[in-house]
Amino acid sequence: MNFPIGFIDSGVGGASILKAVEKLLPYENFVFFADTLHAPYGNKKKRILLKIILNNVKYLVEKRNIKLLVVACNTATAVAKEEILKNFPFLPCVFVEPPLKPAVEDKNKKILVLATKRTIENNSIIKHYKNISKACNFAVETLYISNLATLIDNQNNVEINKVLKENIKENFDAIVLGCTHYNFIKNNIAKLFPNLKIYSCENAVAKRVVYLIETNKLTSNFNRGEIEIITNSQNIAVTRRMMFMFPKHISSIWWAIAWLTVIIHVIFWARKSRARCIARKWP
Contact 69, 18 (CB under 8 A): no
Out of 93, 136, 179, 277, pick the active-site residue: 179
- Nearest to residue 162, comparing CAs of 176, 147, 177, 172? 147
Q: Which of 124, 75, 126, 85 is nearest to 103 (CA)?
A: 126
179 is catalytic: yes
Q: Is 93 part of the annotated catalytic residue set?
A: no
Amino acid at residue number 205: V
Of 73, 93, 136, 201, the catalytic one is: 73
Omega cis (within 30) before 247: no
Asked if residues 60 and 5 have their Cβ atoms less than 8 Å apart, the reply is no
Closest CA to 18 of 205, 243, 177, 259: 205
Measured from the Cβ of residue 128, the count of other Cβ atoms closer than 10 Å reads 13
Residue 275 class from Cβ within 10 Å (0-12 exposed, 13-18 middle, 19+ buried)? exposed
DSSP symbols for 23-42: HH-TTS-EEEEE-GGG---T
**Which residues does the annotation mark as catalytic?**
73, 179
